[in-house]
Structure 1
Amino acid sequence: MFRPDNAPPEGGLPELHVVFQNGKLVTDMRSADLCLLQEQVTRGIGWQVRRRQFVGFWGEQPLFALEIDERDEVDPLQFNAGSLYQLLGRVDEQLFSVAGRAAQLLDWERDHRYCGRCGNEMSADLSERAMRCSPCGTIIYPRIAPCIITLVTRGDELLLARNANFPGPMYSTLAGFIEAGENAEETLIREVREEVGVEVGKLEYFQSQAWPFPNQLMLGFFAEYRSGELTPDHVEIADAQWFHYSDLPVIPPASSVAGQLIRHFVATKQR
C-alpha cells in the first residue's frame, strides 16, 4: 500500500496529507484511516502550511506531511490533536509507520535549517532526501537512532519491567540505545546488566520496527537468562519481575515490536 519515494510527482494527482500542529498529530475522527486527510479537506479548511515534506505514495496518491500554523483553529468536533501514541492499536502497522515517517521528516527539516558546522542556511535536496550547505558542503540525511529491545526468558517465564516513565501499570521488554563503537549484541548484554542486574546469553534476532519517538529503529531480540539476581536500577526501571507466560500483566499492544516479542513467545509455549 505504501511506496516510499524522495521526489514528489509533477502534479495533477489528488494528495493525501498527514497533518501536525505544534508537534501533535491531527487526526480526523470521521475518517477510517484517522491520520490520512484528503487534500480537499485540508485545503477547504484554509490551514496555513508552514512546512511540507513529501513522504511517498499511499496506493497511487502522493502523500505529504504538513505542519500547520500554531494559530490555526482545529475543529474539536471533527479533529483531534494528540501524540502519535494515539494511533497504536487503532490503525495497522504500516499506516502507523507512515505517520511516524511523516513526523520524523518534518522534525529533520526543522532541526537542520542551518548548518551546524558553519551556520549558513541549508537547502533541501529532494533527489536524495538530504539537507545541503552550499558554502561548506555539509550534507545531513534524516537521522536514525538504533536501539535494541529484548525479551529475556527463563524456561516458561518472561522478564518484564515497568519503566519509570510509563504512565500506567504496563510492563514491557527491556530496551536501550546502541552506543558508539558497540554492536547490537554488545548493547543488549550491557543494557540488561545495567537495568536489571542479570546476565544473558543465546541471543536470537526477531525483527525490527521503526519507532518514531522520536527517531528510533528498534532491533528486536530474544535472550535467555544465564545468571544473577533480579535488581532493577530504580532509575529507568521502577520494577522488574519474572512472569509465567500464562499469567501476564498489562503488556504493550501487538502493533509494537515489544508486544510482538511477548506474544510470539507465548504462542510457542501454547503449541
Structure 2
Amino acid sequence: MPQWLPGWIDTPPQPDDAVLAISNGVILKPGDDWLMPWSAARSAVAQGQEPVYVGRWGERAVYVCGLEPDQLAGAVQSITLRDALIFGEDVPAELLGLAHQVQQWWLDHRFCGRCGTPTTIHPRERARRCDPCSLSWYPRLSPCVIVMIRRGERMLLARSSRVKRNFFSLIAGFVEAGESLEEAVQREVLEETGLKVTNIRYYDSQPWPFPSQLMLGFFADYAGGELVLQEDEIAEADWFLPDELPPVPPETTIAGRLIEAMQQEIRG
C-alpha cells in the first residue's frame, strides 16, 4: 500500500492529481481504485462542491470533492464510508477518514461563526480564517473514550439502540469540557450502565470520522453496581465469557481490537 503523507497546500488540482469522491458520507469508487484523476472528475463536480487538498498518496496529490455519478465516464460503485472502514479489505482508512473530515470542515466553515463574513484560506495551515475577527477554524477533532470492562472471567458488551447493525460493542462517549480521560470513562460507564469501574488503563487510539472523533481506548475493572441501562443509548448489555461472544466489530476497529486483547488476557 502506498505511503500516506498528510499535509496542506492551497493550490487547485492539476490534471494528473487524484480525487477521492465523497458526498454525504458515500464514496464513489471507480473500479478497483479509490481514486480518479482530476482530468476525469472535474466535469462532474457537484453543485456547491469544490476540490479540497487532503495530502499525498504515494506520488500523487489527493483532493476530496463531491461528484455527480451520472456525469462520470464509466461505472462507479457507491459505498458508505462506514462500511468501507468496518468491512472493507485493503482499505486506505487514514486517507478515507481524513478526506471525509476535511470535506466537512471545508463546508461547515465557509462563513465566520461570529460575524458571518466569508472565510479565507490560511496560506500555510489547514485552516479557514475570518480576517475581521482574527479567528481561525481548523478541522474539528472530538476526543471520545471507549472502554472494555472486565468482571472476573467475563467482559461487558453492549448493543447500541442507535446503530442498526446487529452486533455488540463497548461503552463509549465524548469527553466533556473540564474532564480528564479517566473521568470521562467513569462517567460514561455510570450513565449508560449504572456500573462503577476502577483500574482504568490506556490501550490504544484510532481516528474515527463519525463525525470527527479521536477514539481513545481503555481497559477497566468492574467495581460495583448492577446493570441499569440508559435506554436511549443502550438496547441491551451483558457479561460474556471470551469464548461465548455475540457478533462483535471486526479488528479494523478499536472496539474489535480491545475485545480481542481482553479475550487473550482472560485466557492467559
TM-score by length of 1: 0.89
Once residues 12 and 168 of structure 2 are traced to their aligned partners in structure 1, the CA distance between those partners, rounded to angstroms, is 48
Any idea what SS the aligned residue of 2:179 has? coil
Checking the alignment, whether the CA contact within 8 Å between 1:151 and 1:174 is kept in structure 2 is yes
1:173 maps to 170
Aligned residues: 263
Distance across 1 between alignment mates of 2:164 and 2:73:
25
1:38, distance to aligned residue in structure 2 (A): 3.9
* CA 171–74 in structure 1, closer or farther in 2 if over 3 Å, else same: farther
Q: Deviations over 1:128-175 (max 9, x none)?
A: 111111122111111111100001111221100000012132100100
Q: Paired residue for 1:162?
A: 159
- Offset at 1:82? 3.7
AA paired with 1:226? Answer: A
Which stretch shifts more, 49-58 or 258-267?
49-58
Partner of 1:90: 88
Residues 53-96 of structure 1, C-alpha deviations (whole Å, 9 max, x = no match): 11111112111111225xx5167983223421121231346x11
Aligned residue for 1:51, secondary structure, equals: coil
Instruction: Give the aligned residue type for 2:95.
Output: V
Contact 1:148 1:221 in 2 (8 A): yes
2:57 is aligned with what amino acid?
Answer: W
Partner of 1:4: 6
Residue in structure 2 matched with residue 101 of structure 1 by the alignment: 98
Pair 1:168–1:48, CA change in 2 (3 A): closer
Tell whether 2:67 aligns with 1:65.
no
Q: Is the 8 A contact 2:10 2:121 kept in 1?
A: no
After the TM superposition, which residues 26-37 of structure 1 pair with which residues of structure 2 at under 5 Å, given as runs?
Answer: 26-28=28-30, 30-31=31-32, 33=33, 35-37=34-36
Conserved? CA contact 2:15–2:39, under 8 Å? no
Q: Is the 8 A contact 2:13 2:63 kept in 1?
A: no
- Pair 226,113 (structure 1): closer, same or farther in 2 beyond 3 Å: same
Aligned match of 1:21: 23
- Alpha carbons of 1:247 and 1:189: their partners in 2 closer, same or farther (altered >3 Å)? same
Give the CA deviation at 1:52: 1.3
The amino acid that maps onto 1:185 is E
1:73-84 correspondence to structure 2 within 5 Å: 73=70, 78-84=75-81
Asked whether the 8 Å contact 1:162–1:239 carries over to 2, the reply is yes
Using a 3 Å threshold, how does the CA distance of structure 1 residues 92 and 221 change in structure 2: closer, same or farther? Answer: farther
Provide the C-alpha distance between the structure 2 equivalents of 1:270 and 1:210, rounded to a whole number of angstroms. Answer: 29
Equivalent in the alignment of 2:111: 114
Task: Name the counterpart of 2:254.
Answer: 257
Contact 1:8 1:62 in 2 (8 A): no
Contact 1:20–1:66 (8 Å) recurs in 2: yes
Q: Percent of pairs identical after alignment?
A: 36
Residue 232 of structure 1 aligns to which amino acid in structure 2?
A: L
User: Counterpart of 1:53?
Assistant: 52
Check the 8 A contact 1:51/1:106 in 2, yes or no: no
**Partner AA of 1:26 in structure 2:** L
Q: Is contact 2:12–2:51 with CA below 8 Å preserved after alignment?
A: no
Structure 1: gaps spanning 5 or more residues:
none
The answer (yes or no) to whether the contact 1:8–1:56 under 8 Å persists in 2 is no
8 Å contact from structure 2 (residues 193, 229) kept in 1 = yes
Q: What's the secondary structure of 1:102's corresponding residue?
A: helix
Distance change (3 Å), C-alpha of 1:107 and 1:11: closer
- Matches of 1:226 and 1:73 in 2, distance apart? 57
| Paired residue type of 1:83 | T
Whether the 8 Å contact between 2:15 and 2:38 is mirrored in structure 1 is no
The structural deviation recorded for 1:9 is: 7.5
* TM superposition shift of 1:269: 3.3
Match of 2:218 among 216, 221, 238: 221
Q: 2:216 is aligned with what amino acid?
A: L
Q: Which amino acid aligns with 1:130?
A: A
Over the residues paired in the alignment, what is the CA RMSD in angstroms? 2.2
